[in-house]
Structure 1
Amino acid sequence: MKDLFKLPMNLQFFAEPGEGNADPNSNGGNEGGQHQDSPEERKFTRAEMAGIIAAEVKKATEAIVQKKDEEIQQAKTEAEKLAQMNEDQKSEYERQQREDALVKREADITARELRAQVTVQLTEDNLPVELVDLLNFSDADSCNDSYQKVKDAFAKATGSFEEAVQTAVNKKLAETVDTPLGNGQSTSSNNNPWSKESFNLTEQGRILTEDPERAKLLMQQAKNKK
């Protein structure tokens, strides 16, 4: 129901008679006296707003009633089941109910703890935290197993993309590494000022100044050779 109050409203409908100086016959400055509200400017009368609110209240009330009916029916079924049991059966049934509730509560606690731990682990592994929703939190072993599978699948998918990018970079390097620079000199793959064999700070500074993009490519090439 909170969203209802985001609807545009014409406050003039809530004004007392005589308040405001708006003229209902005014053309609002439009030529020919024609004025049509766009869908975003849809104005609601008090009656329309009351109808919308009433519909939402009815929907919420029906949901509450349905849930309550389900709880009553469940309690009735439990009572009928207990009525057909002798004392020993009742005691065993109630003991089993308590054990089931305890197991469920412990499972919920375990799941919350594992989820918190995995969220931290995803961050440390530079993986999207949204992957947490794909994991199995029934127990630690299942969680670890599902984490590794999701991690491997994600690495495989992103790795394929990164390999494609790296291939494109290498191709660009191969095409441009012997291209003359501004002064007519060239820098071959064996004369890369960022490489270990040809390290040269002066040449690095010159290339960074004259051709920053080429400098990036050469730095990437030197990095790949390490």
Structure 2
Amino acid sequence: MDDFNNTNINPADAGQDAQNNQQAEPKTFTQEDIERIIAERLKREREKYKDYAELKKAAEELQKLKEAQMTEQEKLQAKLQEYERILQEKEREAKEAQIQATKVKVLTELGLPLDLAGRIFGEDEQAIRRDAETLKKLLGIASKPIGGGTNPTTTSSGMQNPWHKDTFNLTLQGKILRENPALAQKLMAEAGIK
């Protein structure tokens, strides 16, 4: 308490308070000041990287020297590794295309919309078929023939009739599942689909 009630003022401290108040005022810059500061900083940064082009050129020359020092067998080995990498990539792409084609085939056979291809999983036809059949059961799609009578499943041009009751219901169900992934995941979990 005594420290707060002490009214003795040191005259030397008064000069420091005035100096602190002057330092607390914000400093303003003119446009010329800003341009000068930016120019100085740019110059410093350019100085840091002035030898970048030379280093890049030296690295390229080093790579050429390394390649020149490689034996013919080493060069062939490097090419072989590159070809093997390309082959693996192409094999992966071919496998993905085969799986996609199998999905389309199975969905068509089961009368399911092709939009569901992204929701079907499996590495071979049996696994894809099991998954598609489970999804078909989950969606409640009957395995009876669709259409007949006055509302055929296809139009006169052979296209699928979008207004047929079962086709319309499939389209609506697919849209609902696409727009509500939480519901789709819940239904898939209930059906034991991962």
TM-score (norm 1): 0.27
Structure number with larger C-alpha Rg: 2
* Greater relative contact order (CA < 8 Å, ≥ 6 in sequence): 2
TM-score (norm 2): 0.31
